[in-house]
């Protein structure tokens, strides 16, 4: 049974990891660092340098930047210094306008931005920005491990923040440590289940903001043509004729719609999970659509959403914010747990769903943030539904099959071992292919 300290720590953890974001969080993270550097410098920099980890570069190369109609890092950095406000966090570009986008293009054309790989980056998520003014002053900002975690801020020789990374703690901007699954808070799937299903409803109802934001993102997506329009294709008569007009097809189309808009750079906020808007969408929309069409109660939907998001957080806290493993594997595992609960499943059925998901999707690569991520999300959430259906029939992949263990937490650790360690060489190969295409 959870003690009071654990309950408080888990609540704090969810608040820390489930936050609004506008745009893909990797280029937005770089924009945030650029914005902070400009603020510390005291004005728009004369020139700016960005040294980035390979995973940041990979996830920022082909994704749309909100409100610009452009892709990639230069416009994100330009808008960060021109209009960004670091206090907005992952919504740093919230105040951008078409006029500012034009100024950003001019800033880029003037050759003021230099972007390079940080070959010796200590973390997979690492952003180092140095802003220079015309008088020879400079401001340095470093974000690492988490998208909003400043570990170093300085103006010339004056160090304003210096928080070396700790191995077992995540933190805010030079602030208090946040408990993680590797620190004093030892999460297990059983604890995730207990928290989601037994906490007083008013203490977890904040998770419903994810339902509002991500549902609205799906609806707004239908008003434009974003990315590959996968959500629209699934929602049109042709899509309905092939896929049917069912809970299953509605889950897939809602998830794809929200992802289409986000990856194409729509100025639409979504609720993220573990630093990823797509993971937030994947952990939210399937659960909400199922609950609404299955006529579950408001309480059941709230608890299912918390179960979904907290499961994803639990896995990601061990896997790491960025990895070679596609994040939809993790987030869809969370949504499968939520859907299983909404189907009337108990803890045992939820463990079955997790094992089914790990057996099926482990190994899906992350080859950067881009419009086609919507296709991967539909793969994840369709598998989430199938895994829940199997679980409710008492069927799950057993320990004699592949990487699955009788212990569900060990199965999760096996997934993490592959995604965080074994696939590192895959990550290098993917980035090499992406940067050497002709």
pLDDT digits 0-9 by tens, 359-391: 999 999 999 899 999 999 999 999 999 999 999
Exposed e or buried b for every residue in 281-293, given b needs 16+ CB within 10 A?
A: bbbbbbbbbbbee
Reported pTM: 0.91
Q: What are phi and psi of 363, to 5 degrees?
A: 105, -10
The answer to whether residue 171 scores a pLDDT higher than 80 is: no
Helix (H, G, I), strand (E, B) or coil at 111: coil
- Residue pLDDT, tens place only, 21-58: 998 999 999 999 999 999 999 999 999 999 999 999 98
Q: What share of the chain is helix, strand, coil (3-state, %, to 5)?
A: 55, 10, 30
Q: Which pLDDT does position 306 carry in this prediction?
A: 98
Give, in degrees to the nearest 5, the angle at Cα 13 between 7 and 14. Answer: 95
End-to-end CA distance of the chain: 57
Give the pLDDT band of residue 174 (cuts 50, 70, 90).
Answer: low
Q: Which pLDDT does position 61 carry in this prediction?
A: 85
Give the pLDDT band of residue 191 (cuts 50, 70, 90).
Answer: very high
The answer to whether residue 283 scores a pLDDT higher than 90 is: yes
Helix 4-17 to helix 298-319 angle, to the nearest 10 degrees?
Answer: 80
- Residue pLDDT, tens place only, 214-226: 999 999 999 999 9
The answer to whether residue 320 scores a pLDDT higher than 90 is: no
DSSP state for residue 164 in the 8-state scheme: P
Q: Which pLDDT does position 168 carry in this prediction?
A: 54
Average pLDDT, the chain: 93
Choose among 39, 16, 282: nearest CA to 153. Answer: 39
Helix (H, G, I), strand (E, B) or coil at 40: helix
- Residue pLDDT, tens place only, 397-432: 999 999 999 999 999 999 999 998 899 899 889 988
Q: Which residue has the tokens 């060489």?
A: 425
């Amino acid at each position: 049974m959870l003690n009071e300290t654990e309950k408080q720590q888990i609540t704090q953890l969810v608040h820390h990891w489930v936050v609004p974001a506008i745009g893909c969080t990797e280029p937005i993270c770089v924009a945030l660092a650029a914005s902070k550097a400009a603020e510390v410098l005291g004005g728009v920099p004369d020139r700016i340098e960005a040294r980035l980890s390979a995973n940041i570069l990979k996830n920022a190369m082909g994704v749309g930047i909100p409100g610009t109609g452009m892709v990639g890092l230069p416009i994100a950095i330009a808008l960060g210094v021109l209009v960004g406000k670091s206090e907005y966090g992952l919504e740093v570009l919230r105040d951008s306008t078409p006029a500012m986008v034009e100024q950003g293009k001019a800033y880029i054309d003037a050759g003021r931005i230099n972007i390079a790989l940080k070959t010796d980056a200590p973390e997979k998520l690492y952003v180092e920005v140095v802003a220079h003014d015309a008088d020879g002053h400079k401001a340095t900002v470093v974000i690492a491990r988490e998208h909003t975690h400043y570990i170093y801020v300085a103006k010339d020789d004056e160090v304003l923040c210096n928080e070396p990374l700790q191995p077992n703690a995540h933190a805010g901007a030079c602030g208090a440590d946040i408990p993680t699954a590797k620190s004093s808070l030892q999460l297990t799937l059983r604890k995730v289940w207990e928290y989601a299903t037994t906490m007083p409803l008013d203490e977890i109802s904040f998770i419903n903001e994810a339902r509002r934001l991500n549902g609205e993102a799906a609806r707004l997506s239908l008003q434009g043509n974003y990315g590959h329009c996968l959500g629209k294709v699934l929602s049109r008569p042709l899509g309905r004729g092939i896929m049917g007009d069912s809970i299953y097809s509605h889950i897939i189309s809602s998830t794809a719609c929200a992802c289409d808009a986000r990856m194409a750079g729509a100025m639409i906020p979504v609720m993220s999970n573990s630093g990823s808007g797509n993971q937030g969408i994947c952990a939210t929309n399937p659960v909400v659509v199922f609950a609404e069409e299955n006529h579950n109660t408001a309480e059941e939907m709230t608890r299912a959403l918390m179960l979904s998001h907290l499961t994803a957080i639990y896995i990601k806290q061990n896997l790491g914010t960025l990895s070679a493993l596609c994040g939809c594997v993790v987030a869809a595992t969370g949504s499968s747990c939520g859907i299983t609960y909404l189907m009337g499943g108990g803890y045992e059925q939820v463990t079955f769903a997790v094992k089914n998901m790990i057996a099926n999707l482990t190994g899906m690569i992350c080859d950067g943030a881009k419009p086609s991520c919507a296709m991967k999300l539909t793969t994840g959430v369709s598998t989430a539904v199938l895994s829940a259906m199997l679980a409710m029939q008492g069927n799950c992949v057993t320990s004699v099959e592949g990487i699955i263990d009788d212990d569900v937490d060990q199965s999760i650790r096996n997934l993490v071992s592959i995604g965080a360690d074994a696939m590192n060489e895959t990550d290098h190969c993917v980035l090499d292919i992406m940067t050497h295409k002709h």
